[in-house]
Amino acid sequence: MLQAVKEAGGIMQRSFHGHFKISNKAGVNNLVTEVDHASEKAIISIIKKNFPDHYILSEEIGKIEMDSDYKWIVDPIDGTVNFANGIPICCVSIAVEYQGSIILGAVFNPFFNELFVAERGKGATLNDKPIQVSNKDDLSSACLVTGFPYNILDKPNGPLEIFNTLIRKGIPLRRLGSAAIDLCWVAAGRFDGFYEHKLEAWDSAAGFLMVEEAGGKVTDFKGNHYSPYQPELLATNGKIHTALQGCINGLKE
């Protein structure tokens, strides 16, 4: 896994200032670049070489179905719009699921040289040093991050309404453009909480484990234990979870 994220990170770094083809996927400004495909190809070839029997789910190519207890979940570039615009807030994200539970995750931002790794039951690290979520217990003084999905911005009581509610409370709320980095930065205590309405398994699988292993809490918007196979994600340091969940659901605190 480490070899794969480093190899993919190298591809991202070498291509960053060059010319690469950019195409549109479904939705508005939902981009994919040649570099996403090159990164994915390198990752998949490393997985296949080492674990030819494992199942792979990867954003651009989809599923490589195998009858295996192990599934690799790959986002070859998370934060493609940033990458395509020369904004170095983007990463490669890889997780390993074993019998339905995420057991390993790695997220690498080659531009900041930040490698986040988590192993179920063994904690989370940033460049080999243990990380922990923040201690803040008051939502009004929390620093939050969110993301806007490509396709449900016009949903009633959707991302824009909740953004509006939190901003009007005077809460600093950032939008970085990479869900995997958002989650890792919650794990590292830089943000106290992150929520997003519609994520895919490859966006969140590694970062979700990072937050849990750094002592945080990850659920859907109803407070159920998080599954990467449903869209909503709420990740916090645990202490502001109920308050932020209340805001998201439009409840009075």
Any contact of residue 177 with ligand IPD (CB under 6 A)? yes
Position 179 contacts ligand IPD (CB under 6 A): yes
Residues 35, 11: contact at Cβ < 8 Å? yes
Rounded to an integer, what is the distance from CA 95 to the centroid of its chain?
10
Whole-number minimum distance, CB 147 to ligand IPD, in Å? 3
Smallest gap, in angstroms, from Cβ of residue 75 to ligand IPD?
5
Contact between 148 and ligand IPD by CB under 6 A: the answer reads yes
Element (H, E) at 217: strand 217-219
Cα gap 226→235, rounded to integer Å: 9
The verdict on 193 binding ligand IPD (CB under 6 A) reads no
Report, in Å, the least distance between residue 83 CB and ligand IPD. Answer: 8
CA distance 96 to 101: 8
Q: Compute the CA torsion angle 54, 55, 59, 62 (nearest 10 deg).
A: 130
Question: Minimum distance between the CB of residue 80 and ligand IPD, rounded to whole angstroms?
Answer: 4
Rounded-to-10 torsion of CA 235, 237, 240, 244: -10
Q: Is 80 in the site for ligand IPD (CB under 6 A)?
A: yes
- Using the contact rule CB under 6 A, the part of the chain among 46-54, 74-82, 104-112, 213-221 near ligand IPD is 74-82
Write out the DSSP string of 4-62. HHHHHHHHHHHHTTS---EEE-SSSS-EEEHHHHHHHHHHHHHHHHH-TTSEEEETTTE
φ/ψ of 225, rounded to 5, equals: -55, 135
7 vs 215, which CB is nearer to ligand IPD? 7
The entry of ligand IPD, Ca ion, none near residue 79 (CB within 5 to 8 angstroms by kind) is ligand IPD
Contact map string, positions 45 to 84, toward Ca ion, x by CB under 5 A:
--------------x---------------x-xx------
203 binds ligand IPD (CB under 6 A): yes
Query: Interface with ligand IPD includes 39 (CB under 6 A)?
Result: no
Residue ranges that bind ligand IPD, judged by CB under 6 A: 75, 78-80, 147-149, 177-179, 196, 199, 203
